[in-house]
A and B are shown apart, each in its own frame.
Chain A
Amino acid sequence: MRFESLVDSVGNTPLVGLPQLSPSPEVRLWAKLEQNNPTGSVKDRPALFMVAQAEKDGLLFPGATVLEPTSGNTGISLAMVCAQKGYRLVCVMPENTSEERRQLLRMWGAEIVSSPAAGGSNEAVAVAKRISAENPDWVMLYQYGNPANAQSHYETTGPEILADLPTITHFVAGLGTTGTLMGVGRYLREQVPDVKIVAAEPQYGDVVYGLRNVDEGFIPELYDPSVLTTRYSVDHRASLRRTRELVMQEGIFAGISTGAILHAALGIADREVAAGRKADICFVVCDGGWKYLSTGAYAGTLEEATASLEGQLWA
């Protein structure tokens, strides 16, 4: 395949079967390999769409400054896109994110403002909103509320999945900005009667939930629960266990949030087997494992890895 430039090559990722982890020939798991995008994560899609929309709206010009709160992947994708297009990028990122993410962001030319670990991404959003108010000429794309985020999945990820898997019964993805689930979910619900849209939400250690009070909670503006069939919370031990199973049994080296998604997908698969139903369950591999090597996720015993990930923002 040939493309005019790197940004033109975003999307059209492979869908691969999981012959070892699928419970039966009637109940099959399919992985959408989003680590095959140019910067190695699913976030290349929303980054490209959000920048394109801002350009259409006349907000961006060469030398403009883009601002974004991010736990990593969106920032890395934006850094690549902004570097290609001549925009300056400032990312607000929680300090308890992996070192690889920081190095990658700087490599692509982004500037990083650190936000406190306690409160996780909520705090990054709050800091970015403050910086945005102080710099009215900067453009905050704001992945949590930008319709172009979900639209990227509605227009690309969803149609790609349906073209490759017309018999899809379940779609499982991670719940962060909610963009993947809202976009793919809406598209599939329009096209496939009775399709189930399932969210897997990372369950972190206490520090990430270290808000001062409940009213500091955060729900992305994009989130519409009516798109979802259900939503599961998956802790880092289960996520790590599944991340390791995925690489050992299927050879897919994925990041830790993908383990959480696989955990939910396997739970659904078990229930479909028990109910005697046929199922084609598609789940998203958000990114590869490379950026998480320094967290200890893949080294030592599961207990050691679980301990070293405590307090980290791993999704």
Chain B
Amino acid sequence: MLQDCTMAVQVKVPTILRPQTGGSKTVEASGDTLDAVLKDVDAKHEGLRARLVDDEGKLHRFVNIYVDDEDVRFNGSLDAPVGENSTVTILPAVAGG
């Protein structure tokens, strides 16, 4: 895949949140923390951040966010570091078993 010179963070968006991204499954953003990335996404796709982060600035209980497949709740939550070509994956919490 051809890339721009500027590296972008890929943000994977689940089906239920795609109305916020005009139907896009993946959006590009920049930022060196999850918080910065989500704010950058929100600048282009207003309303996405409000579905993920509550009024107190905490991640929504039933949303899991992964930076390069690691759950951010174990790495600083919104302060989790994001590399310049990282992938951020947003998923609703589902059961197994």
**Which one of B60, B74, B92, B96 lies within 8 Å of A230 (CB-CB)?**
B74
Per the 8 Å Cβ criterion, residues 59-73 of B in contact with A are 60-64, 66, 69-71, 73
Main SS at interface, chain A: mixed
CB distance from A114 to the nearest CB of B (A): 16
CB pair A214–B71 under 8 Å, yes or no, is no
CB pair B95–A121 under 8 Å, yes or no, is yes
CB pair B94–A217 under 8 Å, yes or no, is yes
CB distance from A75 to the nearest CB of B (A): 10
**Which one of A120, A215, A232, A234 lies within 8 Å of B94 (CB-CB)?**
A120
CB pair B94–A204 under 8 Å, yes or no, is yes
Digitize A173-197: 1 where CB-to-B-CB distance is under 8 Å, 0 elsewhere: 0111101000000000000000000
A233 and B16 in contact (CB under 8 A), knowing A209-B91, A217-B92? no
Count A-side interface residues using an 8 Å CB cutoff: 45
From B15, B96, B97, name the one whose CB has the most chain A CB atoms within 10 angstroms. Answer: B97
**Which one of A143, A213, A225, A230 lies within 8 Å of B70 (CB-CB)?**
A230
Could you tell me the distance between the alpha carbons of A8 and B6 in the complex, rounded to whole angstroms?
A: 61
CB pair A209–B15 under 8 Å, yes or no, is yes
Smallest CB-CB A-B distances: 8 pairs: A217-B62, A176-B96, A121-B95, A176-B97, A217-B93, A231-B71, A177-B97, A230-B74
Could you tell me the distance between the alpha carbons of A216 and B74 in the complex, rounded to whole angstroms?
A: 23
Per the 8 Å Cβ criterion, residues 73-89 of B in contact with A are 73-75, 89
Does A218 make an interface contact (CB < 8 A)?
A: yes
Cβ contacts A to B, 24 pairs, < 8 Å: A71-B96, A73-B97, A121-B96, A121-B97, A176-B96, A199-B71, A203-B91, A209-B16, A210-B15, A210-B16, A214-B17, A214-B60, A214-B63, A218-B94, A219-B62, A219-B93, A225-B73, A229-B74, A230-B70, A230-B75, A233-B66, A233-B70, A233-B89, A233-B91
